[in-house]
Amino acid sequence: MSFIFEIISNTPDISIITFFILCIVSLFTSAVSASFGLGGGSMLIAVLVNLLNPIAVIPIHAVIQLNSNFFRALIMWRHIQFNGMIPFFLGNLIGLSVGGQIAFNIPGYLLQGIIGIFILYSLWGSGLSKISKKSSKISFLVGIITSFTTMFVGGTGALLGPYIKGITNERRITVATHGAYMSLQHGIKIIIFGLLGFTFTPYILLIIFMIIFGVIGTWVGKYILNWMPEKFFSFGFNLVLVILAIGLIYEPIKYWISNT
């Protein structure tokens, strides 16, 4: 046991208490994602930003979210809607390898505000029916946009959410399909971070523990989802999107206030 605590204490820039706080957060956010299909990733990155070295935030977030989304998709694989996944995958290759480099030159607060406005428009704007059509071109475009953004802000589940909600018609299909799409994106992102030279080894024990707690959270969330009525899920899904969108829109406002 002392050996484990010694390894934990050697994890860069975090204390033992912070280590276990992150594990509990992983459990809770995975449960949220499994219950409503999204929200957990954005909550997790908000915590990581305050507790981890900024350089490690998005790479570590990608690994934890890959596990959370993949395990959710795995245990609900019968409900995954695979239509459009290949164009989405190809769009991710472009967005992550090319667009991500451009995203680093865009102010983070501005990008977050744009995403927030887009999410609200996707929920209630007149263009929602066009955005939500089952089309390979739309899926390809969504892949480019979301992967472009994820290299900068990390969690893009809310940005993908309206599209997935538009092409699915049942809560388990929505949650499982969202998990499968996000697994693809995070998997490619991890490979790119590795190629860019990020070393995951110093954080390996933190990653392992957060994955274990994330699996437990996903199981809990799955049971909540099965119990949840369809109307309540639809309301909760949209509510989570609205809360996340408002938080994103507030970022450029906060920046403007602090610099005036």
Percent of the chain with pLDDT over 70: 80
Residue 214 has pLDDT above 80, yes or no: yes
Between CA 188 and CA 237 the distance in angstroms is 26
Between CA 67 and CA 62 the distance in angstroms is 9
Residue 132 has pLDDT above 60, yes or no: no
Average pLDDT, the chain: 78
pLDDT score for 252: 79
pLDDT score for 24: 92
pLDDT one-digit tens code per residue, 28-72 = 888 888 887 677 777 787 777 777 776 787 788 888 888 888 988
Residue 199 has pLDDT above 60, yes or no: yes
Angle between helices 16-36 and 230-258 (to 10 degrees): 130
Question: Nearest-CA neighbor of 207 among 52, 75, 33, 77?
Answer: 52
pLDDT one-digit tens code per residue, 88-125 = 999 988 887 776 566 455 566 666 676 677 667 666 55
Percent of the chain with pLDDT over 90: 5
- With a threshold of 0.95, does the pTM exceed it? no
Number of residues in the chain: 260
Q: What is the DSSP letter of 107?
A: -
Between CA 16 and CA 187 the distance in angstroms is 28
